[in-house]
Amino acid sequence: MKRVLITGAAGEIGTRLRALLKPVYPQLVISDVRRPTDLRANETFAQVDLADAPAVDELCRGIDGIVHLGGKSIEGTWDEILQSNIIGCYNLFEGARKAGVKRIIFASSNHSVGFHERESKISGDVVPRPDSRYGVSKLFGEGLGSLYAYKHGIGVTSLRIGNFADAPIDVRRLSIWLRPDDLVRLIRIGLERPGIVYEVLYGISDNDRAWFDNSRAVELGYAPEGRSEPYAEAVIAAEPKEGKSPVAEHYQGGTFCAAEYSADFDTIKKSH
């Protein structure tokens, strides 16, 4: 991987990865629809809207590997999600195909499977249960990644990212926390490990309370160093005891599941 592109480089994760990946991939190219406010003199930046297919085609030229973080990172209206996360994602994969890109890391999300219960532990091949329009768009990206892997030979890794942060700040995040340097480890597996065709891995650290079975990532060489359990006592003590949504507390997706919820919760819960 000589020349690596990060899309969505002005976002929270992208901003951190710019610094973390630069020593690993010196020819790093960063892109976003808006110019980062902290752009450094040694950074190569391209301001591109992923909905602009010709611009994306140009962006992908000469690139060996892509870390695709671009798009809307929270729930939005259908039109917002459509333009940023579906049309933009298609343009990125198609531009990569035309340019001969070898590897793509697709930043998926735990919200592509958010309607699984917290009592269950799920693997990468679980039946998807997206919890939002955002989650649906991430599921679309996973499917697109599979298509371009098997049809066009691009090595694709979909990372169902949990909570990317320096530390978990609530009880839910004790299960899904991802330390920044552990994300770098997962990215390097997807970009560099020989034999990658298509993989779905979970973007979490070594969390004792994890809802996700990440054994496939371990098989591929993932050795996370972050652990959420040392934070557990303080996090649990600070957790509010009242005012929580039963829907949010029941499902892995949390408040994404509870937002706009209109089903009969008791009936749905009994069906599991």
> What values do phi and psi take at 163, rounded to 5?
-120, 110
Q: Which residue type does 134 have? A: Y
Active site residue 150: no
Q: Among the options 134, 202, 222, 251, which is catalytic?
A: 134
Q: Minimal CA–CA distance to 31: which of 88, 75, 76, 111?
A: 88
Q: Is 27 exposed, middle or buried (0-12, 13-18, 19+ CB in 10 A)?
A: middle
Q: How big is the CA angle at 91 (ends 129 and 48), to the nearest 5 degrees?
A: 115
Query: Could you tell me which residues come within 8 angstroms of residue 127 by beta carbon, excluding any fewer than 6 positions away?
Result: none
| Rounded distance between C-alpha atoms, residue 131 and residue 142, angstroms | 15
Give the CB-side neighbour count of residue 83, counting CA atoms within 13 A.
Answer: 8
The sign one gets for the Cα dihedral 14, 193, 29, 82 is: negative
Element (H, E) at 98: helix 88-99
- Within 8 A by CB and 6+ apart from 212, the residues are 110, 121, 122, 123, 160, 162, 176, 202, 204
Known catalytic residues are: 134
